[in-house]
Structure 1
Amino acid sequence: MSCLARCWCVLLKSSLAQTSSSMSSEIRSPTPVRVESPCQRRCCLDADDTCVGCGRNLDEILSWNEADASQRLAICQRASQRLIARNN
């Protein structure tokens, strides 16, 4: 599964969990969306400092822990596009 697909799966599961919990009569605070790291544990940077395993560039890898959910989704989208371009 591509890193973007995994990110969207996690986002969808979280969204479904929020929807089902909001249907209860009890008012709850929203569950934060968690976007999993696209890391494939095949870390190796190419000449452009892009990981050949996940497609993230070095700046994106280093900023991952501080990124919020929307920033992480954007990183996953760019990384997925890089992997697709590399494989074509």
Structure 2
Amino acid sequence: MVFGMATKKITVTIPEELLDEIRTEAAERGLSAYVAEALRFKRDRDRLVEMVDWLEEEYGPVAEDERAAAREELDELDAEHKRRRTAGEAA
């Protein structure tokens, strides 16, 4: 939680299984901080999607080879994330 920032309590309904997973991951930071971070990430992603749309309107669509390269890089990042998480759980 960011100190000095105004906060507001809300009620949100999410699937129980997801909540169990999140509570495990958010243990040190706390559930509220975890959810706030996730919402910021989603907001930022939505803004990036909007910016990509604007850029494609101005400069044309992204070429398929560029999309494939970006997907490959994301797959590598996902694999690294999974490797680190698995290594952390084994320790």
TM-score between both structures, scaled by the size of structure 1: 0.30
Q: Larger radius of gyration, structure 1 or 2?
A: 2
Larger helix percent: 2
Larger RCO: 1 or 2 (CA < 8 Å, sep 6+): 1
What TM-score, normalized to structure 2?
0.29
